[in-house]
């Protein structure tokens, strides 16, 4: 038997696949918040140049920029907490899809304008309830970011709910389309306020609110908006995704491939 | 092309006025399309206050603005031309008055 050729390769560090469970809990929690804003902001950005009218093009882009601004603050802080020298750009552009911890709803494709609006209402109401409470977080930095974000989010919900009412209480066609979008997206909402160990730990440390509280506030807001829009609230169905733990739908990978292309092709590129 | 059908599809036009800060007048900044008053304010916010240009927005449906006819310009405006004494240039403005 011949001796095996000498192996020169240095021990390769196994790539981290999946959510880094060993990472500090606050780091993972910040990724949940930051990734939600980042992924939704990227989705809204896809409308730029394609919105039904120029005014909406700018309206959606403004919201996208607010969201990406929130993501920058949250991911920069996450990087500091992690303490491995990763900045906001490293976290945004160099993580795999399974390391993204946004709720799956955020990554759902834009569909038509009505479907984008439905997704936006569902998430705006959630972020509003969440940020209002995070503004009094025991973590001063989280509280400051939330206090800024809550003002932006109040406007986002005003914009999106206004549109949902127009479309829901509009023509037969617009009503049918947004009702169908609501049915399609509703199963993804279960995850938003479903508390797991990480949410519980954050709540016990006073960093985050109890998600049950957020759920009540969210549910009330959604009921009010749906009533005004004359839409029917779909029945709750068991979830099959859990993006908050890195278990995503197939859509996120494609979205990240486009979003991360430049940094992957030209590492460290700046503009 | 049937132009009346097109007109129906087009959202109504609004004229937008922005107050830059308290104490100043609302100034006309431009116009935009919106389906209703609420959307007009939101679009105005998104189009005309992105760089902190204002603290207050007025939106007026363009069709509600009554305008003078350019044909009438001669009779409306020229008679004022030789009335120089109507300009308050003969007054001393006190230093304390800033906003005149």
Do the domain assignments include residue B39?
A: yes
Instruction: Return d(Cα B25, Cα B21) in angstroms, integer.
Output: 8
Interface test with A, best of B16, B35, B42 (most A CBs within 10 A): B42
Handedness of CA A68, A206, A129, A111 (dihedral sign): positive
Do the domain assignments include residue B78?
A: no
Q: Do A55 and B46 touch (CB under 8 A)?
A: yes
Do the domain assignments include residue B100?
A: no
Sort out which chain A residues have CB atoms less than 8 A from B49's CB and list them: none
Interface test with A, best of B40, B43, B44 (most A CBs within 10 A): B43
Mean pLDDT computed over B62-85: 91
Q: How far is B67 from chain A (nearest CA, A)?
A: 26
pLDDT at A19: 47
pLDDT at B100: 63
CB burial of residue A6 (10 Å; 0-12, 13-18, 19+):
exposed
When pLDDT is cut at 50, 70 and 90, the band that residue B96 belongs to is confident
Question: Regarding beta strands B13-19 and B26-33, do their DSSP bridges make them parallel or antiparallel, or are they unpaired?
Answer: antiparallel
Q: Do A55 and B33 touch (CB under 8 A)?
A: yes
Give the residue, A166 or B99, on which the prediction is more confident.
Answer: A166
Mean pLDDT computed over B17-44: 95
3-class DSSP assignment, residue A221: helix
Q: Which of A29-43, A192-206, B29-43, B73-87 has the lowest mean pLDDT?
A: B73-87
CATH class of A25-264: mainly alpha
Residues B11 and B33: beta-carbon distance below 8 Å: yes
Instruction: Return d(Cα A224, Cα A212) in angstroms, integer.
Output: 19
Sort out which chain B residues have CB atoms less than 8 A from A58's CB and list them: 43, 46-47
Do the domain assignments include residue B74?
A: no
CA distances from A173 to A23, A52, A121, A122, B5 (A): 48, 16, 20, 21, 19
How wide is the angle at C-alpha B46 spanned by C-alphas B44 and B51, nearest 5°? Answer: 105
Kindly report, residue by residue over A22-59, the tens digit of the pLDDT. Answer: 689 999 999 999 999 999 999 999 999 999 999 999 99
pLDDT at A255: 97
Q: What is the CATH number of the domain that holds B34?
A: 3.10.20.520
Encoding tokens for residue B43? 């679009």
pLDDT at A15: 44
Sort out which chain A residues have CB atoms less than 8 A from B43's CB and list them: 55, 58-59
Instruction: Return d(Cα A33, Cα A78) in angstroms, integer.
Output: 10
3-class DSSP assignment, residue B8: helix
Q: Do A55 and B50 touch (CB under 8 A)?
A: no
Mean pLDDT computed over A239-266: 93
Kindly report, residue by residue over A114-155, the tens digit of the pLDDT. Answer: 999 999 999 999 999 999 999 999 999 999 999 999 999 999
Encoding tokens for residue A141? 């930095």
Nearest to A115 by CA among A251, A257, A253, A254: A251
Sort out which chain B residues have CB atoms less than 8 A from A160's CB and list them: none
Instruction: Return d(Cα B57, Cα B99) in angstroms, integer.
Output: 21
Q: Which of A4-18, A223-237, B35-49 has the lowest mean pLDDT?
A: A4-18
Across-strand partners of B15?
A: B31, B60
Nearest to A117 by CA among A43, A187, A191, A224: A43
pLDDT at B87: 81
Interface test with A, best of B12, B46, B47, B53 (most A CBs within 10 A): B46
Do the domain assignments include residue B44?
A: yes
Q: Do A166 and B33 touch (CB under 8 A)?
A: no
Sort out which chain A residues have CB atoms less than 8 A from B11's CB and list them: 53
What's the total number of domains in chain B? 1
Do the domain assignments include residue B10?
A: yes
The average confidence (pLDDT) of chain A is: 92
Mean pLDDT computed over B51-58: 95
Do the domain assignments include residue B95?
A: no
Kindly report, residue by residue over A168-195, the tens digit of the pLDDT. Answer: 999 999 999 999 999 999 999 999 999 9
pLDDT at A14: 45
When pLDDT is cut at 50, 70 and 90, the band that residue A211 belongs to is very high
Q: What percent of chain A has pLDDT over 90?
A: 88
When pLDDT is cut at 50, 70 and 90, the band that residue B7 belongs to is low
Residue of chain B whose Cα is closest to the Cα of A62 = B46
Give the residue, B69 or B83, on which the prediction is more confident.
Answer: B69
Sort out which chain A residues have CB atoms less than 8 A from B31's CB and list them: none
Q: Do B42 and A58 touch (CB under 8 A)?
A: no
pLDDT at A179: 98
Q: Do B32 and A58 touch (CB under 8 A)?
A: no
Instruction: Return d(Cα A83, Cα A28) in angstroms, integer.
Output: 13
Residues A153 and A128: beta-carbon distance below 8 Å: yes
Sort out which chain A residues have CB atoms less than 8 A from B52's CB and list them: none
pLDDT at B98: 74
Residues A245 and A76: beta-carbon distance below 8 Å: no
Which segments of chain A does DSSP mark as H helices, in order?
Answer: 25-45, 54-82, 88-93, 113-134, 140-168, 172-185, 197-204, 211-228, 251-265
Mean pLDDT computed over B60-85: 92
Chain B residues 35-94 with CB within 8 Å of chain A? 35-36, 38-39, 42-43, 45-47, 50
When pLDDT is cut at 50, 70 and 90, the band that residue B2 belongs to is very low
Q: What percent of chain A has pLDDT over 70?
A: 92
Encoding tokens for residue B79? 């008679």
Checking if the pLDDT of B45 tops 90, the result is: yes
When pLDDT is cut at 50, 70 and 90, the band that residue A5 belongs to is low
- Asked if the C-beta of A158 comes within 8 angstroms of chain B's C-beta atoms, the answer is yes
Q: Do A58 and B47 touch (CB under 8 A)?
A: yes
- The domain in which residue B14 lies consists of 3-67
Q: Do B46 and A62 touch (CB under 8 A)?
A: yes
Checking if the pLDDT of B28 tops 70, the result is: yes
């Amino acid at each position: 038997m011949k001796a095996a050729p000498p192996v020169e390769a240095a021990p390769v560090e196994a790539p981290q696949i999946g959510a880094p469970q060993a990472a500090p809990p606050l780091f993972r929690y910040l990724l949940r918040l930051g990734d939600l804003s980042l992924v939704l902001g990227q989705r809204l950005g896809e409308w730029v140049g394609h919105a039904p009218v120029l005014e909406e093009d700018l309206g959606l882009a403004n919201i996208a920029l607010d969201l990406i601004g929130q993501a920058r603050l949250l991911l920069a802080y996450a990087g500091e907490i992690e303490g491995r020298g990763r900045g906001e750009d490293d976290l945004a552009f160099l993580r795999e899809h399974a390391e993204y911890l946004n709720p799956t709803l955020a990554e759902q494709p834009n569909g038509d304008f009505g479907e984008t609006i439905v997704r936006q209402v569902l998430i705006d109401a959630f972020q509003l309830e969440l940020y209002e409470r995070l503004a009094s977080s025991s973590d001063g930095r989280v509280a400051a970011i939330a206090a800024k974000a809550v003002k932006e989010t109040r406007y986002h919900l005003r914009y999106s709910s206004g549109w949902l009412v127009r479309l829901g209480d509009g023509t037969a066609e617009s009503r049918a389309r947004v009702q169908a979008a609501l049915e399609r997206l509703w199963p993804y909402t279960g995850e938003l306020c479903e508390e797991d160990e990480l949410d519980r730990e954050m709540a016990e440390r006073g960093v985050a609110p109890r998600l049950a509280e957020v759920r009540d506030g969210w549910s009330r807001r959604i009921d009010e908006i749906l009533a005004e829009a004359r839409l029917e609230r779909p029945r709750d169905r068991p979830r099959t995704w859990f993006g908050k733990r890195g278990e995503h739908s197939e859509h996120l990978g494609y979205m990240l491939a486009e979003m991360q292309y430049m940094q992957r092709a030209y590492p460290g590129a700046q503009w | 092309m049937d132009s009346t059908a097109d007109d129906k599809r087009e959202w109504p036009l609004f004229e937008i006025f922005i107050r830059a800060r308290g104490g100043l007048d609302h100034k006309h900044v431009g116009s935009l399309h919106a389906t209703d008053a609420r959307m007009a304010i939101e679009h105005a916010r998104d189009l005309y206050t992105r760089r902190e240009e204002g603290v207050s927005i007025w939106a007026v449906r363009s069709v509600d603005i009554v305008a003078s006819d350019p044909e009438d310009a001669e009779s409306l405006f020229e008679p004022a031309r030789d009335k120089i004494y109507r300009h308050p240039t003969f007054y001393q403005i006190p230093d304390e008055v800033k906003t005149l």
